[in-house]
Structure 1
Amino acid sequence: MKNHVIILMLLLFSFSALAQKPIKGRIKDANGKAIESVNVSLKDAEGNIINFSRTNRNGEFSIAIKNDQVTGYKIEASSIGYKKLSTSITDVAKSYELVMQSSETNLETVTVKNRPSLTSRGDTLNYRPSDFADKQDRSIGDVLKKMPGIEVAEDGKISYNGKSISNLYVDGDNLLDDKYNIGTKSIPQGAVDKVQVIQNDQPIKMMRKNNMSDDVALNLVLKDEAKLKVMGDATAGAGMPNRFDENLTAMLFNKKLKFINNIKGNNIGNDPGIDLTSHNLSDYLKKLDNDRPSSLLSTGAAGVPSLPQSRYLFNKAGLANLNNLYKFNQDLQLRANLSYLYDERSQQYNKFSQTYLSGQTISYTESQNNAINPQKLRAQFNLNGNADKYYLNNNFVLDYAPFKTSSGFVINDVAANQVLRQETLDISNEFNYRKKLKSEDVINLYSYLNRTTQPENLNITPGLNADILNNGNSYLGLSQYIKIPTWYTNNYASFAFVNNHFVQTYKAGFNVQQQQLNSELYRTQNNQQTELVSGNTVNDLDWLKTKLYADATYEFTNDKLKAGISLPLSYNLIQYNDDINQLDKNLHKFFLNPFLNLKYQTSVENYVTANYSFRNDLGGIDDIYRGTVLKNYRSLFANNAPISESKTHNVGAGFNFRKAMQMFFFNITANYSDAELNTISSYSLSNNIQQRVVLPLSNHIRTLSLNANASKYVFALKSTVSAGFGFSQSGYSQLQNNELFDLNAQTVFYKLGIEAKLSRFINWSYLANFSVTDNKAKVADAIKTNFQQLRQQSTLAITTVRNVYLNLSAEHLFTHQSTQPNLKYLFADMNIKYKYLKIKTDFEFGITNLANIKSFDAVYLSANSLTTGTYFIPGRVAMLKGTFSF
C-alpha cells in the first residue's frame, strides 16, 4: 500500500510539473475592463490547436506548453460580442496584454424566430423557461421536465446530464436546503426569467479561487416583477367517492426576505410528505459517519406495488411546510425550515411466497389489512455567514417522528392482530467555521453533536409459533420492546495551505458514539400471566465507539485539470458488553482509506472523470447483540459473530459531453466494486417463520454497473428527445437452511422519451422504460429466472377552444416472467381545465383510473424464490377543483 501511495503522489505532482511553462496574459476591452470567459487557443504554424484556456473573472489566462519552441505559434481569442483577436508568440516569459474590440455583428440565432437557445458563461449554462413552456404549464417543475439535459424523477429529484443536483437556489439563495420539491411545485414558471445550471458549484465564497467542487446546482433567476409582492395560489377541490384536495401557498422573493409557506391536505393518493424529501440525505449521513441503526422492528408488510404512488395510495394527509430566509446583509442570513406532517393510510394485500432449496420448497401465504399513522415534526434553524474572508454555518435540527401501525393478518390460515409503535426523537447541532488568513491559507473548525432516542414496541395477539416460543402450548400474545438511545459527536480542525493552483489540507479530529440496546421479548399466557419468553430474548448491551483520525489531502486545479488524493488514517476502538449474555469484548483497528479523483477537461464543454477508493468499514450495535429479537411476526433475529468488517475497492470512470448551443447532452459512467465481508447472515426457513443468525464467514459482494444517457432538442420538431441504457451485475453468497450457495443477478434497462409540440395547440409526451432481469443460483438443479417489464406513459395536451385545455393520459404496464402468466394493465386519466383570466382562476375537472381497476397483481423473482402479491388500489376517482392565483 505504501508503494501505491507514493506512485499516486508522484502522478499528482507530475501533472503539476506539466504546467511549469505557461503562456500567461490578460484580456480587456477598449475601456480597460477585464473580459471573463474568453476562449483562448494556442495554435502552431499550421493552425493546429496545441492547447486552450478561458479567462477568469479578472480577464487572466494561462496556457500550459511542454517546451519553449514556439516559433510560428499564435494566440487566438474569441468571445460573443467581440471581434476575434490573433497575436504571435515571441517570448514565452512575456505576459501578453490583449485588447478586444466590440463587434456589432448579429448572431445567427438572433435572426431565427421561435427557436430556443442556451447561453453559456463560465461554468453557468442558462435556459429560458419561456422557450420550452406552453400555456398548460403552471410551475417551473412542469417546464424543467422539457429542458434538454435536465431530468426530473417521479419523486422530484433533479439531475443534469446524469448527475444529481446538490442544491436548488432561488435567486442565489439556499432557501429550501435540499428539500426543493416544494419550490419546483410552487414557483410559477412565468415568474422565472432563467434557469441556470451551475457546474462545479462552490457555495463557500473563499473556496472559489481554487475550486475543487464537482457539484452541480440549479439557480432560478426570478423576473423583477416577481420580487415586488407576495404571490401564490389557493386550491379547493372535492370529488367522488368522498375525496378532497386543498392547498394554500404564499411566496415572497425580495432582497431581504424570501419565503415559501405552504399548507395542504388531501385524500386522493398524493403524498404531501414528498415535499419533505431530502434528495442527497444519504451522502450527508455518510459524511457525518454516525452509523446508528434504523428501526429494528416492523409489521412484516410486503412493501408496495411497482406503480406510481398516486395509483395505489389510500391516504388522508395534511402538511404545514414553512420555509423562511432573512438576510441581515449580503454576507449574513438566518433561515428557518419548519414542517409538520400528519397522515392516515390504509393498505390491503394478499401474498404467496416460495423459496426453492435443495430437496425442499419453503412456502407461505399471508394477507394483511394495515392502518398506518406516520407523523413527522421538523424544526431547522440555520445561521450562515459567507464572506470572502470567513465562513460560518451553524445548523440546529430537531426531528420528532411518532409512527403507529395496526394490522390484522392471516398467515397460512392462522389469523392474528399486531400493533407497532415507534417514536424517534433526533436533536443535532452542526457548527462549521472557516477563516482565510492574509497568506490565503485557510483554517477550518468543525463540531457536530447529536442525541437520538428511538423506542419501539410490537404487540401480537394471539401468540404465534407456539412450538418455538412457548413449548408447544397455546398462549395469548407476544410483546417485543426495544430502546436504542444514542449520543454522538464528531469534531475536527484542519489547515489548508494554498499555493496558486495547489492546495494541501491537513485535518485531525475524533468522533465518539455511545449507545445502549435494551430489549425484552415477553409472552402472555392464557391465564393473563406475563413472562419472558426465555433468558435468550433479553439484551442489555452497552456500546462505545471511539475514532481518532487524521487526513492529508492534496489537490491541484487549473483550467483543464482537477486532481486530488486523500489519505485518511484512523484508529478505531470499539468496546461493548452485556452481562446478561456474558458478552465483554473490544476491538482495535488502524485503517488507511485512500481516495483518488481526476477530472480532465477535454474541451471547453466536455470532460472525463476517474476515481478510485479503498474503504474499511465496521458494523454497528445491531450486528453484535446476542439476545433474540422478534423483528416481525414471522422473523427472529440474533447474532453469533464478531463485529462485521468490510473492505471495499471501488473504481469508476465517466465521460460527459455536451454541445450546449445545439442542445445535445450525453454522459456515460462505469463503476466496479468488490467488498470483502467477514460475516454472513444464516437463515433458517420454515413455512411459518424465519430465523436469522449472523455468523463469522468470509464472503464477497462484487458489483459492476454501466449507465449512459443522452438528451437532444430537435429544432425542426420543436421536441426534446431522450434515451438511456443501463447494465448492472452483482454476485454474492447466501446461507439458507445450512446450505451455502452463490447468487448472480443481472439487469439491463432501456428508456426512451419525447416532449413534443405537434402543433400550435397540441403537445405530446411519451416515456418508455424496458428492463430485463436474470437471476441464477449456482447450485444443482437451480432455477434460472427471467423477468421482463415494459412501462409506457403518454400524455396528449390539447387546446380545444380559447382558454380551455384537455389532457388525456395513459399508462401501460406489461410484465413477463418465466413460469408465470403475463400481466397487463392499462390505466387512463382525463382532465379538462378552463382558465378564467379575469379573476385569475383555473377551474378543473378530472377523472383518474377511468377503467376503474381496483386490484393489481405483482410478481417478484429472485434466484431461488418467487413472490406473488395482489394489492387493492383505489378505483375511479372524479375531482372538481378551483385554483385562484394571487
Structure 2
Amino acid sequence: MQKSFAFFLLFISFFTQAQGFTIKGKITDLENRGIQNASVSLLNETGDYLEYDFTDENGNYSIVFQNPRSSAITIEISCLGYSKISKLITNSSQSQDFTLKNKVEVLQEVVIEISKKVRVEQDTTTIKLASFGNKTEQTLEDILKKIPGIEVLQDGTIKAHGISIDKLLVEGEDMFDKNYKLLSKNLDAKVLDAIQIIDNFEDNPILKKLNNSEKVALNLKLVKGKKNIWFGNITAGSGIISENRWKESLNLGLLRKKIKLFYLADYNNLGEKATDIVATNILENNSFSEDRLEFKAKSLFQINNNEVALFSKTQSVFNNAFLNSLSFATKIKDNLSLRGVVYLAEDRQNQNSFSETRYNLEENPISFTENNFYNNHKTVASTELELKYYPNDKNYITNLFIYKINPNATNSDLFFNLDQINQSSKNNNYTFYNHFNHTLQLSENKILNSYIYFGNDKIKENVNVLSPLLNTFLNVNNSDVIKQGANNNLFYIGDKTKLITKFRNIDVTNSIQFELSKEEFNNSFVIYNNSFSNYENYSNLKQLKLFFDNAIRYNFSKKIDFTAVVSLQHINFESNNVASSIFLVNPTLSFNIRKTGFGNFKLSYSENNTLPEINQLTNNFQLIDYRSFTRGTRYENPLKNTVASFNYSIYLDEKRFSVNTAMSYIKSKSIINTESTITSDFNFSNLKQTGGGDNYNLSFSFVNYVRALKLASKIENIQNWNSSPVNVNAAEFTNSENYSNTIKYSVTSYFKKAINFDGGFSYNYSQSVFENNKTTNRTQDIFLNINYAISKTILAECNNAIYFINQQNYSFNNVILNYNPVESKFSYRLIFNNVLNENQFTLITLNNFTFYRSSVELVPRYLLCAVKYRF
C-alpha cells in the first residue's frame, strides 16, 4: 500500500512538471556583473501576473509556470537604479538572459529608500519575513515565534508589543475573529511575505474617529501572485517504522475583491489537539470601545488525564486529531459585508499515566497512588456568522451569531492503590450567542453605541462510577454502579448603551447596562434505582443587574493620559429562592505614558467586587470525581479583591530590542474558601466565605540583537509569591505560603550561511510551606535546535532537549530532512521523532499542602515521511 502510494505521488509529480515550463537565465549590468534582487515577472496577454522570481546574488533566476492557454507571454525585468525592460517570448523559450542599463534621472528632489527588514510608519510596523526565517518553518505560528515584538504563548495565543492581539487579518480582512488560531496553526508559512503589527487598532470605523485605542492587531501580507487565484497546498505523510503515524492536511485560499476564503483541514495522530485551538467564551469590557460578553455554564464531574504541560504535546500526547474549517468574507454590497467561520474539531485521546499524591498534614502523611488508563472523545462543531453594515459615515451596524455543539465522552479505568475503579462521563453541551452593535455618530465629538446581547448555554451530563471503596462508604453492593445525572442551563439577555464624548483633551463615557440572567443546576444520585438525597442538588440563581459605568480620560498629550472609571452596580440576587438586594462600587484608576523615547509606562489600581457562582451555592454534597465530594455555601457578602500593577515596556523593532516588565499585587479581602476533610480514601470539601491572602507577581523579559554577531538573545524571569488560608483536617484555617521562580535564556542566530541555530536553558524552582512543613522542587532543561543547508535543495534540522528532574535526565532528539526541488511544486519532509526512544516522563508539582508526582508514557520513536504539493 505504501509503495503504491509513493508511486502515485511520483507519477503526479512527473505529470505536473510535464505540464509546466521553466524559464531561467541571468540578469547582468553593462559590465557583465550579476544584479541581485532584480524582479523577473511573467505576464499573460491581458497583463495579469503568472509567476515571478527575484535574482540571487549572482543574478540568476528560475521560474516554473503552468502552460497558459495563450502562447503570448511577456517577461518583465525591473530593479531599483536600472531601466525596466520587457520582451514578448514563446512557451518554447527556455533560457533568457538580459542586460539592464543604469537609470539616470535629474530630479528637483531625490529620496532614496533602501528596503528595510523592519519598517515603522506611525502605528504600523511592517516586518519582512524572509529576513527572520530559515526555511524550516511550516506554519504561520512557526515564523511568528521568530519575529521581533511578537510572542506566541504555549496555548497558541499571540501577543504583539506585549498585548494579546484583537484580530489576525489577511490582507486587511478579518477572516477568523477570535478563532485566529485556526489560521496561525495551519496556514503555510511559504505564502507569507510580511507581517504588520498595527497599534491603536480599531475595527469600528465610527469609533476610530474619536478613539485612542489600546488594541493591537496583526495583518498578514502574502507574496505576490496569490491574489485572484486559488492557492494552497496538500500534505500527505505516513510513518514507515515503529508506531504507525500519519498526517494529512489541505490548505486552500482565494483572495479576490468580492470574496476571500480559506479552507483548512488536518488529520494527524502526532499529538496536537484540534479542539484546543478553537476559541471559548469571550469576556471584554471596554470603556471607550465595543464590548463582548459571553457567559458559560459550569460542568460538574471531572476526570483527570494527567497530561504534562512542560514540553511539546507531540512528545507525550496520544491523540487522533481531525480539523475541518471554512472561513469566508464577502462583500454583498459596497457597504454590506458578511463573514463566516464553520469548523468541526475532533480529538480521540488515549493516555496512560501513574501518579502518587501525598498530603503533608501530619507526622504520618496521607498518600495514595493512581494507575490511570484514560480515554476521551471530544468534538466541537460551530457556525459563526457576522454581518457588517456601513450605510453612511455616521452609522455602523454589526450582528454576530455563534452556535456551538460540544459533546464529550470520557472513560477512565484506574487502580486506586490496589482497588480497581471505573468512571465514565458523557457530556452534551449546546451554546449560542448573539451580539448586536449599532454605533451612531451624533456630532463631531459624540458617539452613541448600543449593544444588545443574549445567549444560552446548556450542559447535560451523565456519569457512571463503579468503585468498591465508594460503594462500601455508601453501604451498597460492591457491584452496583453509581449513576449521577447533572443539568446546567444558563440563559441571559442584556443591553448596554454608552455615550462617548470628546472635549479637547478629555474623553468621557457614560453607559447604562441592563442584564437578566437565569441559571438552573440540578443533579441526581442513583444506585440501583434508589436515589440518595444527601448527594442531590436543585439550585437556581436569578440575577437582575443594573450598571451605571462612568469613565473619564484626560489626555495630557497624545502620549500621556490618566483614566478613572467607576462602575455602580445594583443587583437583585436570588439564590435558591432567597433574595438579596446588593449594591456594588468598582473603581479603576490608570496612568499611561505611551510611545516615548523611554518606552511605555502604565500604573493601575482597581477594586473588584463580585458575587459567587451557582456551583458554589449548592446545599448538599455533589460527587465531582470518584473520590471527592464538594458542598457549597450560602451567600453572605460580595467577594472582594484589590489589584495594583505597574508595567513598563519598550519595543524597538527595527533594532530588535525590547524590554517588558510587569509587577502586580493582589489582596484578596473576601473569597470562597475550602474546608477539607481528607482520609486515605476520600476528600470532602465544604465551601466557606473567608478572608483571602496576598499574591505578588514579577515578570521581566529582555530581547537584544547583536548586529555584529547576528545573534538575538532573550532573558526571562517570572517570580510569584502567594499566601492563602487553608483548612485541612483542622478546626481552623492556617496560612499556606508558596513561592515559584522561573529563569529562561534563549539565543537565535541569523547567519547568512548554511548553518543557523536557536538554543537556551530554563531553571524552575518551587517551594511550599504549610504547618511548618517545607517542600521544594527544582527542574532544569536545555534545548538546542540546529538547521544546516546541505545544498540549495536539502535542509537538515536537529532538535534536541534535555530535562533534569529529580536526579533523572530525559533526552528528546528529533531529526528532520527537508528536500525542496527548485523546479518543482513538490517538497518532501522526513521526520525522525524521539530518536533515543525515551518512553516515560516523571514530573513533580507542589500546591499548598499537596505533593503530586506524575509519570506519563511518551510517544515512542517513529519515522514519518511527508510529501507536500503547493499550487
Q: TM-score range by the shorter chain?
A: 0.7 to 0.9
- State whether structure 2 residue 771 is matched by structure 1 residue 771: no
Question: Which of 823, 841, 845 is 1:856 aligned to?
Answer: 841
1:104 counterpart residue number: 110
Query: Contact 2:140 / 2:184 at 8 angstroms: preserved in 1?
Result: yes
Q: Is 1:523 aligned to residue 527 of structure 2? A: yes
- 1:269 pairs, out of 262, 267, 271, with 271
Q: Map Cα deviations across residues 604-650 of structure 1 (whole Å, 9 max, x no partner).
A: 57221111111100011111111221111011111243256311111
Structure-2 separation of matches of 1:460 and 1:657: 54
Equivalent position SS for 1:856: strand
Pair 1:494 & 2:498 matched: yes
Q: TM-score, normalised by structure 2?
A: 0.83
Relative to structure 1, the CA distance from residue 149 to residue 382 in structure 2 (aligned partners, 3 Å threshold; closer, same or farther) is same
| Partner SS for 1:437 | strand
Give the counterpart letter for 1:877 in structure 2: Y
Gaps of 5+ in 1: 1-100, 525-529, 578-583, 817-821
CA distance in 1 between partners of 2:136 and 2:840 (Å): 32
C-alpha distance in structure 1 between counterparts of 2:749 and 2:350, whole Å = 38
Q: CA deviation at 1:571?
A: 0.5
Answering whether residue 729 of structure 2 is matched by residue 737 of structure 1, we say yes
Q: 1:139 to 1:242 in 2, by over 3 A?
A: closer
Map 1:444-463 → 2, pairs under 5 A:
444-463=449-468
1:469 alignment counterpart: 474
Partner SS state of residue 210, structure 2: coil
Closer/same/farther in 2, CA of residues 307 and 186 from structure 1, 3 Å limit: closer
Partner residue of 1:878? 863
Candidates 417, 421, 427, aligned match of 2:426: 421
- Matched residue of 2:225: which SS? helix
Cα distance between partner residues in 2 of 1:346 and 1:453: 27
Match of 2:575 in 1: 576
AA paired with 2:782?
A: Q
Percent of aligned positions that are identical? 20
What is the CA–CA distance in structure 2 between the aligned matches of 1:585 and 1:594, rounded to whole Å? 28
1:41 aligns to what?
none
Residues 70-219 of structure 1 correspond to what in structure 2 (within 5 A)? Answer: 104=110, 106=112, 110=114, 117-219=117-219
Structure-2 change in CA distance of 1:761 and 1:397 (3 Å): same
Indicate which of 662, 684, 707 corresponds to 1:669: 662
> Which amino acid in structure 1 is aligned with residue 864 of structure 2?
M
Write the mapping of 1:619-658 to structure 2, written as runs, cut at 5 A. 619-642=612-635, 645-658=638-651
Using the TM superposition, name which of 388-397 and 446-455 deviates more.
388-397
Please give the per-residue CA displacement for 1:806-825, whole angstroms capped at 9, x wherever unaligned: 11111111124xxxxx2311
How far apart in 1 are the matches of 2:108 and 2:366? Answer: 79
Partner of 2:489: 485
Q: CA 1:149/1:571 → structure 2, altered by over 3 Å: closer, same or farther?
A: same
Give the structure 1 partner of residue 366 of structure 2: 362
Aligned length: 757
Deviation (angstroms), 1:205: 1.8
Question: Residue 801 of structure 1 is aligned with which of 791, 808, 816?
Answer: 791
What do the CA deviations read for 1:268-310 (whole angstroms, capped 9, x no partner)? Answer: 22323344246x9465899656654421112244444533211
Which residue of structure 2 aligns with residue 40 of structure 1? Answer: none
Is the 8 Å Cα contact of residues 598 and 611 (structure 1) preserved in structure 2? yes
Maintained 8 Å contact 2:826/2:868: yes
Q: Does the CA contact (< 8 Å) of 1:290 and 1:513 recur in 2?
A: no
Provide closer, same or farther for how the CA distance between residues 135 and 642 of structure 1 changes in structure 2, counting only shifts above 3 A: closer
Q: 1:518 to 1:660 in 2, by over 3 A?
A: closer
Cα distance in structure 1, aligned partners of 2:749 and 2:198: 26
Q: Where in structure 2 are the equivalents of 1:704-715 lying within 5 Å?
A: 704-715=696-707
Question: In structure 1, what is the equivalent of residue 603 of structure 2?
Answer: 610
* Structure 2 counterparts to residues 58-73 of structure 1, below 5 A: none
Counterpart residue type for residue 270 of structure 1: E
Contact kept in structure 1, 2:402 and 2:433, CA below 8 Å: yes
* Partners of 1:102 and 1:560 in 2: CA distance: 36
**Residues 789-798 or 555-564, more deviating:** 555-564
What is the one-letter code of the residue matched to 1:351?
S
**Superposition deviation, residue 678 in structure 1:** 5.0
Shift of residue 145 of structure 1? 2.0
Q: Letter of the aligned partner of 1:747 in structure 2?
A: S
Equivalent position of 2:709 in the other structure: 717
Shift of 1:197: 1.1
State which of 507, 510, 515 in structure 2 corresponds to 1:506.
510
- Give the match for residue 229 of structure 2: 229
Distance 1:372 1:234 in 2: 29
Contact kept, 8 Å, 2:419 with 2:468, in 1: the verdict is: no
Find the partner of 2:852 among 867, 873, 880.
867
Q: SS where residue 737 of structure 2 aligns? A: strand
Q: What is residue 405 of structure 2 aligned with on the other side?
A: 400
Name the counterpart of 2:693.
Answer: 701
Does 1:247 pair with 2:249? Answer: yes
Q: Tell me how far apart the structure 2 counterparts of residues 731 and 352 of structure 1 sit (CA, whole Å).
A: 25
Offset of 1:768 from its aligned partner? 2.4
The CA distance in 1 between the partners of 2:295 and 2:181, in whole Å, is 27
Tell me what 1:89 maps to: none
Task: Rate the CA distance shift 1:519–1:729 in 2: closer, same or farther, 3 A.
Answer: same
| Alpha-carbon distance in 1 for matches of 2:133, 2:548 | 51
Q: Distance in 1 between matches of 2:297 and 2:744?
A: 36
Q: Does the CA-based 8 Å contact 2:492-2:517 persist in structure 1?
A: yes
Cα distance change, pair 644–862 in 1 and its aligned pair in 2 (3 A)? same
| Counterpart AA for 2:503 | N
TM-score (norm 1): 0.82
Contact 1:733 1:741 in 2 (8 A): yes
Distance in 2, Cα, partners of 1:103 & 1:415: 85
Counterpart of 2:514, as a letter, is: F
SS at match of 1:464: helix
CA distance in 2, matches of 1:492, 1:565: 19
Q: CA RMSD in A?
A: 2.4
Report the CA distance between 1:701 and its aligned residue.
2.7
Amino acid aligned to 1:216: V
SS in 2 for 1:465: helix
Question: Where do 5+ consecutive residues of structure 2 fail to align?
Answer: 1-106
CA shift in 2, pair 1:157/1:793, >3 Å:
farther
Q: Deviations over 1:723-748 (max 9, x none)?
A: 21222111111111125211111112
Q: Secondary structure at the match of 1:130?
A: helix
Output the CA distance in 2 between the equivalents of 1:650 and 1:754: 34
Residue number in structure 1 paired with 2:326: 322
Aligned to 1:348: 352
Alignment correspondent of 1:586: 579
Q: Distance in 2 between matches of 1:347 and 1:555?
A: 52
* Partner residue, 1:98: none
Whether the 8 Å CA contact 2:307–2:316 is kept in 1: the answer is no
2:110 maps to amino acid: E
Return closer, same or farther for 1:791/1:665 CA change in 2, 3 Å cut-off: same
Residue pair 2:640, 2:671 contacting (<8 A) in 1 also: no
Check 1:319–1:325 CA distance in 2 against 1; reply closer, same or farther (3 A cut). same
**Contact 2:676–2:684, Cα closer than 8 Å, also in 1:** yes
2:447 is matched with: 442
Q: CA distance change for structure 1 residues 627 and 475 in 2, over 3 Å: closer, same or farther?
A: farther
Report the alpha carbon displacement of residue 865 of structure 1 after superposing the two structures with TM.
Answer: 2.3
- Aligned partner of residue 208 in structure 1, secondary structure: helix
Other-structure match for 2:817: 832
Query: Aligned equivalents of 2:313 and 2:285: distance in 1?
Result: 26
Partner-residue secondary structure (3-state), 2:206: helix
CA contact (8 A) 2:284 2:293 kept: no
Instruction: Decide whether the 8 Å contact of 1:455 with 1:484 is kept in 2.
Output: yes
Tell me which residue corresponds to 2:775. Answer: 785
